[in-house]
A and B are shown apart, each in its own frame.
Chain A
């Protein structure tokens, strides 16, 4: 093993690995959009179980894309951002549809969408502070995103909808305040000068 390291040229830095944007993980992420038209069809026609199924598929694909990125070794900043944006679009769209058709209370849905958009804005500002494209990793927000996927399922299944929706809002607000402080006020590690 030692001979391998000594034969490598000392002055040459390893070239940064370029991950193509079109890769299995991003393809799976993009395929989540395909669940949206059948979801709208199911809600429009009052098919609760079908709507739940499409929410479930969308949520499962969210888990599978991370797994695919590991298996095919195609993790990238673009992939992380694309995944986060896809989460926002898919879940925001589904919440809007559910609120429009009266399957979920309007105020919590609008609050979630507004807070989600605000969070995206904060992340953009964080990237600007950092001086490069980056996905702010928030363990708390990961939990909230998981809760959002379940929120959709609770509305399509008509399962304690008011209870879950109204408790979600203060929780997300708390996480937003915490993450806003971390992204916009606290010192940024590794920021470009």
Chain B
């Protein structure tokens, strides 16, 4: 750790990993539940919301896979 760094590299990497995995996990599960609820949406606003949920699920999955990829490679 030098003066140019705030924390050690290990702490930094785990901070990024935990934050990403936390947000990605939240997106994935919360939006999955929401998408199931909105599955039979019949108004444009609700269909927008359902599409947003699907994007949230995709982002959650990408976030989690990226963290796994970093630590497993």
Contacts and interface: CB of A to CB of B under 8 A. Distances in A.
Contacts of A140: 48, 51-52, 54-56
Interface stretch (A72-80, A85-93, A123-131, A145-153): A145-153
Contacts of B5: 47, 49
B35 to A, nearest CB: 11
Most B CB atoms within 10 A — which of A46, A159, A174, A186? Answer: A159
B36 interface: no
B45 to A, nearest CB: 8
Interface residues of A, number: 32
A45 interface: yes
A151 to B, nearest CB: 11
Q: Which secondary structure dominates chain A's binding surface?
A: helix
A175 B44 contact: no
Contact of B51 (A139, A159, A164, A167): A139
A146 B59 contact: yes
Contacts of A147: 59, 62
B3 to A, nearest CB: 10
A181 B67 CA distance: 34
B4 A47 contact: yes
B59 A138 contact: no
Contacts of B49: 139
Contacts of B69: 160, 163
Given A139-B51, A150-B20, A182 B44 contact: yes
Given A53-B6, A140-B48, A163 B55 contact: no
Contact of B16 (A138, A159, A171, A178): A159
Interface in A47-72: 47-50, 52-53
B16 A139 contact: no
B25 interface: no
A140 B15 CA distance: 26
A21 interface: no
Contact of A174 (B17, B20, B44, B55): B55
23 contacts: A47-B4, A49-B4, A49-B7, A50-B6, A53-B6, A138-B52, A139-B53, A139-B55, A140-B54, A140-B55, A141-B52, A143-B59, A144-B55, A147-B59, A147-B62, A150-B23, A150-B63, A154-B16, A154-B66, A159-B70, A160-B66, A160-B70, A182-B48
Interface of A: 45-50, 52-53, 138-144, 146-147, 150, 153-154, 157, 159-160, 163-164, 167, 171, 174-175, 178, 182, 186
